[in-house]
Amino acid sequence: MKNPKVRQVVLPLITALIWGSAFVTQSLSAAHLGCFSFNALRAIPAVLVLLVLLAVMLSPLVQLNPAAGQAWLEGWRSGLEQQEAALRQQVNEGVKPIIEQEFAAYIVDKAAEMGLNCTARVSCRAEEDGLYLPDRTEVAGPLSQEERGRLSQLIQEELGVPADRQAYYSGEELP
């Protein structure tokens, strides 16, 4: 019934036929059966029709392939892990400069507490757990050898950067 005009004529006729025959059947059977028997006889065909409809609706579930579902789930998890790794890398790339700036500000503040005027730059490295730690420091300013030694000692003790990875410049600005 692909033609809508045919559907508009045939379906109401089928409905009227079923409805009309049901009325005649009910009238005849009411005279011979009790009300409970009559309702039981009415319910049996309805249950059969509903069971057929239920079987038709659930038949796609029987044909499901668990292996294909497992493969899809594994692919989805893999994609999710890749997205998580990409997001973690993006966050780390955004966090690293902030951490480096904070360490540099810490060095400048500690130098100011010691009465020194300087600028600092810190390069960090990522540990296995994703934590950024200072790796190299660069300090610029008019510092004497003694002041450089005190600042170097402070950086080594508090930030864990050895003296061989600390650079000092005599100019006001970092190169």
Digit-coded pLDDT (tens) for 9-20 = 888 998 888 888
Going by the DSSP 8-state scheme, the letter that residue 134 receives in this structure is E
Query: In this structure, what token pair is assigned to residue 35?
Result: 């009300």
The single-letter code of the amino acid at 18 is I
Going by the DSSP 8-state scheme, the letter that residue 138 receives in this structure is E
Three-state DSSP class for 132?
strand
Backbone angles phi, psi at 127, to 5 degrees: -80, 175
Q: Where are the alpha helices (DSSP H) in 33-144?
A: 35-62, 66-113
Given phi > 0 = left and psi -120 to 50 = alpha, else beta, which region is 11? alpha
Digit-coded pLDDT (tens) for 1-53 = 567 787 888 889 988 888 888 778 777 777 788 778 878 877 888 899 899 99
* Mean pLDDT along residues 75-91: 90
Q: For residue 172, is pLDDT > 80?
A: no
The pLDDT, as a whole number, for residue 1 is 55
Which residues have C-beta within 8 Å of that of residue 26, sequence separation ≥ 6? Answer: 38
CB atoms near residue 165 (< 10 Å): 14
* Nearest-angstrom CA–CA distance, 26 and 33: 10
Digit-coded pLDDT (tens) for 56-82 = 888 877 777 788 888 889 999 999 999
* Nearest-angstrom CA–CA distance, 145 and 106: 21
Is the pTM above the cut of 0.85? no
